[in-house]
Amino acid sequence: MRVPTQPAILLVDDHHGVREAMVQLLEENGMTICGQASSVEEAVALLDTQRPDLVLVDLLPDDAGLKLVADLNSRGIPVVVCSSRQNPEYARRALDAGARAYVAKGDAARTLPRILKDVLEGWVLISPRAAE
């Protein structure tokens, strides 16, 4: 699988500050942010105009992120879940819904750019902290 030179990433997280930090981290690592959403509804609306190479999703309140993961998976769009929830049950549920990776937010600064590139190459991954 060929990884785009500058992958287009859609960010979905209900915390503005987290999205801004992710934008900075990913752009510093050669990725393009094609959109940001704070809810499932906003993310789905963006898909009408954007075709991201990958979507980075938080689990969101009421596990709405898991429903979005399943929807994106059915559209053939790779999804990485980045969450502060470190219970292995959440990682399992995200992977069952179709996520290609589960990353603990505490690991994001150190591992996220590499994980996104690996997922775009076809890998399925779980960060060490989430795997614990």
pLDDT at 12 over 70: yes
**Structural domain of residue 12, as residue ranges?**
8-112
Q: Would 123 be classed as within a structural domain?
A: no
How confident is the model over 24-51, as pLDDT tens digits?
999 999 999 999 999 999 999 999 999 9
Mean pLDDT across the chain: 91
Tell me how far apart the alpha carbons of residues 89 and 59 are, in angstroms, rounded to a whole number. 12
State the total domains in the chain.
1
CB-CB contact of 10 with 31 (8 Å): no
Q: Mark out the alpha helices in the chain (DSSP H runs).
A: 16-28, 40-46, 64-74, 88-97, 108-120, 128-131
Sheet of strand 32-37: strand arrangement? 32-37, 8-12, 54-57, 79-83, 101-104, 125-126
pTM exceeds 0.85: yes
pLDDT at 117 over 70: yes
CA gyration radius for the chain? 13
Q: Would 122 be classed as within a structural domain?
A: no
Q: Would 129 be classed as within a structural domain?
A: no
In Å, how far are 62, 96, 97, 101 from 66, measured between CA atoms? 9, 9, 6, 13
Q: Mark out the alpha helices in 14-63 (DSSP H runs).
A: 16-28, 40-46
Q: Would 120 be classed as within a structural domain?
A: no
The enclosing domain of 25 has a CATH number of 3.40.50.2300
